[in-house]
Chains A and B, each alone.
Chain A
Amino acid sequence: MTQKRTAILAALLSATALSGAYAADPIKIGVVTPLSGTYAGIGQQVKWGLELATKEVNAAGGIMGRQVELTFEDEEANPSVAVQKADKLFQVGKVDFLTGTVNSGSTLAVGQVAERAGKLIATTVSFADSITADKCSPNVFRVNARAGQQSSALAVWLSKEKPKAQVFYLGPDYEMGRSTVAAFKSSAEKVGANSTGEVFAPLDSKDYTQYFGQLRAAKPQVLYTSVAGNDTVRLFTQLQEFGLLNNLTVVGASGTVTAQNLGAIGKAAEGFVTGVGYSAEIDTPENKKFVAAFKAANKSDPDLYGADSYGLIYAYKAAVEKAKATDTDKVRAAFKDLKWMTPQGEKTLRGGDHQAVQTMYVVKVTGGKFTIVGQVKGEDAIGPDTCTRF
């Protein structure tokens, strides 16, 4: 009888000992991203990128022996919905870390929720400079390139290819359009370009030819534009019809010419140059491996959102392994000046403003496809740290 009891006790003890050894609850990462609506396409890439990296990390033993678990919530690209979902993931889902927000409004608002809940978040998509500048938060990180990095990369390339170029600016007439033009103008002038004039056309303009007189009179060598979507299609085809594309280099924001409107613009897009943080064309073994795995898993090419989201999981893994914990303060300290490998090469999270510093790429439309024509070192494109909160 006693023997039996001790045997049971021993069995129980060994069972608890075993569960102690496994003491590995999964590490939970919340993802608040648009899965429906206008930005659903971006949310899809975010999801694919995160899932691929998580699968790889889990297959290789997880983070400190703990598996990684993703929980998705649809934010409908609406900050009011995003904060509600973030609150849910923090309070009910008890996630250790949160990511996925796309539009800058959502990232800023969710950043504040994280601050009040004492958790950390990272964005892999939002471009607005303010997130890691005047509206920076100790609890918010950005692993993708911000708008300023894209425009300085383009400006650096421009200063090499066309020193002291005469530049004309044409932007869409709304807040974002005006601020992108202002940002590029200041970085271009810093590296020696001369501004010959600027004009703003209303969103959804049907006729851009009314601005062509001004454009010709200014005699620019370079035209910078930050129009997007179908506006780009009309602007470029009209420029071509008027023969203005001869002897004119057209450069622009990363969203001006994309895979979506490239086909519709056709030949007029030839020679367009822009600065980006990632391109599937990057010719490194890491990127080739990533693109192949991404295609195999999702039957679609990765874009910058997919690549940056993929890279984030490895950043978090590196930080948690360095901190040996998932506590907010320890992970934040570990993220400071963290260096880690991503498909687009090594990135560094700058401690002063939580912005990732990375090699920037300059791509050009050649034969209807984007090809990489230049690289700009991370330090040359990053710009000063203007965050004063921490």
Chain B
Amino acid sequence: MVDALTRSMRASHVLVAILVAASLAVAAFGVATNDTFYLRLATEALIFAGLALSVDILLGYTGLLSLGQALYFGLGAYLSALVLMVIPSFWAAFAATAVVAALAGLIGGFIVNRVRGVYFALITFGMAQVAAKIVYNTRALGASDGLIGVPVININLGIASVSSASPAGFFLFVLALIVILYALSAYLLDTPFGRLLIALRANEARIPFLGYRTMTPRLVAYVLAAMVAALSGALYPMLRGFVSPELFFFATSGNAVITVVTGGAGTLVGALYGSVLLTVLKSVIGSYTEHHLIVIGLLFMGAVIFLPKGLMGSVRPLIERMLAREPKQ
């Protein structure tokens, strides 16, 4: 017998499977029509889905609103770009990002976890702004111009290799990575540790009475989110060949929060669907009117008012009911 939380996590897995199936269909269609632009746009949507996923680990599970998750996304992107320009190897860039992000997340976590609620949001926001300003004014990092000239790389997967310039190949590779990041996060959040995070969100004052420390799980969740964000960011320069300080800006962090709220906070899969939806909408609406930000803003308000649980928060219960029915048949 599975409990409600495990069942809703399984419902999320079903929704991810649907997304993967749809993505494979898109990739096949893209290859058939020799498309480049839409496959790269979809890849970018998946990369930003990784960032949104990290926001959901904090917001949806631990109840921490981070307004500065772009700090780790940008960190991953810059680090990956710098490593790739010296050693054009995916694994070197990925390993370096993972190690540095864990350290940065630990340091950042010690700073931000001293406070709660709105102060947490403000400090995460402030830290990202400080990082953005430093990068913006450091000539060695390209200052306001950013860094161009990140080489096209061949990702060695042992049995095969994928070029970051191949639209379909790199799309599938990013899809696999983001699904792995999702699976790892989902696995962790379904363990007793995950239950502890949910309890933290519900009522932090009670946790010590149950015999748990509150600082450790908060810190672990923060470091996990930092690593997910940074590893997603590391993919960005491979796709576009450059990084710029705008990746650190509030627009990036804010977009991730909007993505999670629209997609459904606390579902993990909502981050993925939300990112695909928003990226595609922005690209399409942006070509028709320069007032696209108003349209996105209205959609966001509409989502908050009419779908307070977000897109996936409204769809997932249906899947849960189907899953609950199955054993009887």
Contact = CB atoms under 8 A, between A and B. Distances in A.
A194 interface: no
Interface in A13-54: 35-36, 40
Contact of B246 (A85, A104, A105, A113): A105
A88 interface: yes
A80 B40 contact: no
Contact of B286 (A85, A92, A103, A104): A85
A251 interface: no
Interface residues of B, number: 34
A176 interface: yes
Decide if the interface of chain B is mainly helix, strand, loop or mixed.
Answer: helix
Interface string B103-132: 000000000000000000000000000000
A161 interface: no
Given A78-B251, A83-B242, A112 B148 contact: yes
Interface stretch (B13-21, B93-101, B220-228, B290-298): B290-298
Interface residues of A, number: 32
Nearest to B44: A84
Contacts of B143: 175-176
Given A36-B291, A73-B287, A87-B36, A79 B139 contact: no
Given A35-B290, A105-B246, A109-B146, A175 B139 contact: yes
A111 B241 CA distance: 11
A72 to B, nearest CB: 8
Interface in B131-164: 136-139, 143-146, 148-149, 152
Contacts of B286: 73-74, 81, 85
B304 interface: no
Contacts of B175: none
B306 interface: no
Interface string A68-79: 000001100011
A326 to B, nearest CB: 20
Contacts of A108: 145-146, 148, 242
Contacts of A135: 145, 148
Contacts of B172: none
A103 B290 CA distance: 18
Contacts of A40: 290
B44 A116 contact: no
Contact of A128 (B145, B149, B247, B283): B145
Contacts of A91: 35-37
B84 to A, nearest CB: 14
Contacts of A58: none
A181 B60 CA distance: 49
Nearest to A176: B144
A109 B149 CA distance: 9
Contact of A174 (B38, B137, B145): B137
B41 interface: yes
A298 interface: no
Given A73-B287, A74-B286, A91-B35, 5 more contacts: A79-B246, A88-B287, A105-B245, A128-B145, A174-B137
7 contacts: A80-B240, A84-B41, A87-B37, A90-B37, A109-B240, A113-B240, A116-B241
Interface of B: 35-38, 40-41, 44, 136-139, 143-146, 148-149, 152, 165, 240-242, 244-247, 251, 283, 286-287, 290-293
Interface of A: 35-36, 40, 73-74, 78-81, 83-85, 87-88, 90-92, 103-105, 108-109, 111-113, 116, 128, 130, 135, 174-176
Q: Which 6 A-B pairs have the closest CB atoms?
A: A91-B37, A35-B290, A79-B244, A175-B143, A175-B137, A109-B242
